[in-house]
Structure 1
Amino acid sequence: MLQSRSAALVAAALTLSTACGGGSRPAPAPPPGDRIGSTQARVTASAPAADLAAAVASNGALALDLYRVLAADAQENLFFSPQSIAFALSMTYPGAAGSTAAAFEQTLHVSIPEPQYHRAMNDLDRQLRSRGEGASGTDGQPFRLRLVNQLFARKGFGFEQPFLDTLAEEYGADVRLLDFASAPEPSRAAINGWVEQETEDRIRELLPAGTIATDTVAVLVNAIYFNAAWAKAFDPALTRDREFTLLDGSRILVPTMASGDMPARAAQVAGVEVVELPYDGGELSMLLLVPPAGGLATLEEQLTPARLQEYVAALHGEHLALTLPRFEVRSSLGLKPPLAALGLGVAFGELADFSRMSSEVDLLVSDVVHQAFVKVNEAGTEAAAATAVIIGPTSAPIVRTVAIDRPFVFAIRDHATGALVFLGRVVRP
Structure 2
Amino acid sequence: MKRNLFLFSLWCTMSLSLFQCEGNDEPSPNSSTLSCAQNPDVCKLGEATNQFGFDIFKKLNADKPDDNLFISPLSISSALSMTLNGANGKTKEEMLKVLGAGKISLDELNQSYQTLLKELPNLDPKVKVDIANSIWYRQGFAVNPAFLNTNTTYYNSEVRPLDFSKPDAKDIINKWVSDKTNKLIPSIIDQIQDNSVMFLINAIYFKGTWRRQFDTKKTYDGDFTTEKNVQVPVKMMSYGNSLVKLSYFSNDKLHAVKLPYADSVYSMTVILPKEGFAVKDILPELTLTNWNSWNKAYSAEEIFFALPKFSLRYENSLNASLEALGMPTAFIPSQADFSGIATGQELSISNVKHKAFIEVDEAGTKAAAATSVEIVVTSVPNNPQFIVNRPFIFVISESRTNQAIFIGKMMNPTSDK
Category of TM-score, reference length = shorter chain: 0.7 to 0.9
Question: Gaps spanning 5+ residues in structure 2: where?
Answer: 1-10, 14-35, 379-417
Q: CA deviation at 1:224?
A: 0.4
Q: CA deviation at 1:110?
A: 4.3
Per-residue deviation, 1:270? 2.0
User: Could you tell me how far apart the structure 1 residues matched to 2:204 and 2:181 are?
Assistant: 6
**Which amino acid letter does the alignment assign opposite residue 41 of structure 2?**
D
Q: Distance in 2 between matches of 1:147 and 1:370?
A: 15
Measured at CA, do residues 146 and 47 of structure 1 come closer, stay the same or move farther in structure 2, by a change above 3 Å?
farther
Q: CA deviation at 1:16?
A: 10
Equivalent of 1:70 in 24, 45, 60: 60
Say if 2:181 and 2:368, in contact at 8 Å, map to a contact too.
yes
Question: Whole-Å Cα distance in 2 between the matches of residues 366 and 125 of structure 1?
Answer: 27
Matching residue of 2:267: 285
Q: Percent identity?
A: 32
TM-score (norm 1): 0.76
2:105 and 2:225 mapped to 1: Cα distance?
Answer: 47
Q: Which residue of 1 aligns with 2:202?
A: 222
Q: Letter of the 1:234 partner, please give it.
A: F
Aligned length: 340
Q: Detail structure 1 runs of 4+ shifted over 6 Å in the superposition.
A: none
1:247-293 deviation per Cα after TM superposition (whole angstroms, max 9, x unaligned): 11232331111123322111212231110000012210001111124
- 1: CA distance, partners of 2:80 / 2:215: 41
Quote the residue 1:382 is aligned against. Answer: 366
Q: Which secondary structure state, in structure 1, belongs to the residue aligned with residue 95 of structure 2?
A: helix
Q: Is the 8 A contact 2:197 2:377 kept in 1?
A: no
Offset of residue 199 of structure 1: 0.8
RMSD: 1.9
Q: Distance in 1 between matches of 2:367 and 2:111?
A: 26
Q: How big is the shift at 1:163? A: 1.1
Give the aligned partner of residue 32 of structure 2.
none
Q: 1: distance between equivalents of 2:98 and 2:80?
A: 9
Matched residue type, 2:352 = V
Alignment match, 1:140: none
1:112 aligns with one of 104, 119, 128: 104
**Distance of 1:62 and 1:87 partners within structure 2:** 12
Matched residue type, 1:200? N
Distance across 2 between alignment mates of 1:16 and 1:156: 36
1:284 is matched by which residue type in structure 2?
A: Y
Residue equivalent to 1:54: 44
What secondary structure, in the 3-state scheme, does the structure 2 residue paired with 1:79 have? coil
CA contact (8 A) 1:179 1:187 kept: yes
Residue number in structure 2 paired with 1:83: 74
Whole-Å Cα distance in 1 between the matches of residues 37 and 184 of structure 2? 32
Q: Is the partner of 2:75 in helix, strand or coil?
A: helix
Where 2:168 maps in the other structure, the secondary structure is helix
- 1:44-193 maps to which residues of 2 (within 5 A)? 49-74=39-64, 75-108=66-99, 109-133=101-125, 135=126, 143-180=127-164, 182-183=165-166, 185-193=167-175
Is this contact kept in 2: 1:158–1:360, CA < 8 A? Answer: no
Residues 76-123 of structure 1: CA distance to partner in whole angstroms, max 9, x if unpaired?
211111110010111100100000000101211142321122101111
Distance between the aligned counterparts of 1:361 and 1:60, measured in 2? 34
* Separation in structure 1 between the aligned mates of residue 121 and residue 141 of structure 2, nearest angstrom: 32
- In the other structure, the counterpart of 1:348 is 331
Residue type of the alignment partner of 1:114: L
The Cα offsets for residues 162-208 of structure 1, whole Å up to 9 and x where unpaired, read as: 2112101100114212111x31x311011101111111111022111
Equivalent residue letter for 1:67: F
Q: What's the secondary structure of 1:314's corresponding residue?
A: coil
Structure 1 position 66, deviation (Å): 0.7
Contact in 2 for aligned 1:331/1:371 (Cα 8 Å): yes
Letter in 1 for 2:59: V
**Against the structure 1 CA distance between its residues 47 and 216, is the aligned structure 2 distance closer, same or farther, given a 3 Å change threshold?**
farther
Whether the 8 Å contact between 2:224 and 2:233 is mirrored in structure 1 is: yes
One-letter amino acid matched to 1:70: L
Match 2:248 to one of 266, 269, 287: 266
Query: How many Å separate the matches in 2 of 1:250 and 1:123?
Result: 46
**Alpha-carbon spacing, 1:16–1:289, altered in 2? closer, same or farther (3 Å):** closer
Partners of 1:331 and 1:225 in 2: CA distance: 15
| Superimposed CA distance per residue, residues 121-162 of structure 1 (whole angstroms, 9 cap, x where no aligned partner) | 1111112121221x1xxxxxxx31011111112222112222
Distance 2:12 2:118 in 1: 12
SS at 1:344 equivalent = coil
Task: Provide the TM-score with structure 2 as the length reference.
Answer: 0.78
**How many angstroms apart in 1 are the aligned matches of 2:141 and 2:102?**
30
Answer with 1 or 2: which has the greater Rg: 2
Match of 1:424 in 2: none
CA contact (8 A) 1:373 1:383 kept: yes
Deviations 1:229-252 (A, max 9, x none): 000100111111112221112323
Structure 2 residue identity aligned to 1:289: I
Deviation at 1:303, TM superposition (A): 1.1
Identify which of 292, 296, 303 aligns with 1:320: 303
Q: 1:359 aligns with which of 339, 343, 355?
A: 343
Amino acid at match of 1:179: D
Given that 1:266 and 1:315 are in contact with CA atoms closer than 8 Å, whether structure 2 keeps it comes out as: yes
Aligned to 2:381: none
* Contact 2:247-2:299 within 8 A present in 1 as well: yes
CA contact (8 A) 1:94 1:356 kept: yes
Decide which of 364, 378, 393 is 2:377's aligned counterpart. Answer: 393
- 1:188 partner amino acid: K
Bigger RCO of structures 1 and 2 (CA < 8 A, at least 6 apart): 1
**Conservation of the 8 A alpha-carbon contact between 2:12 and 2:71:** no
Separation in structure 1 between the aligned mates of residue 229 and residue 274 of structure 2, nearest angstrom: 12
Q: Which runs of 5+ in 1 are unaligned?
A: 1-14, 18-45, 136-142, 395-429
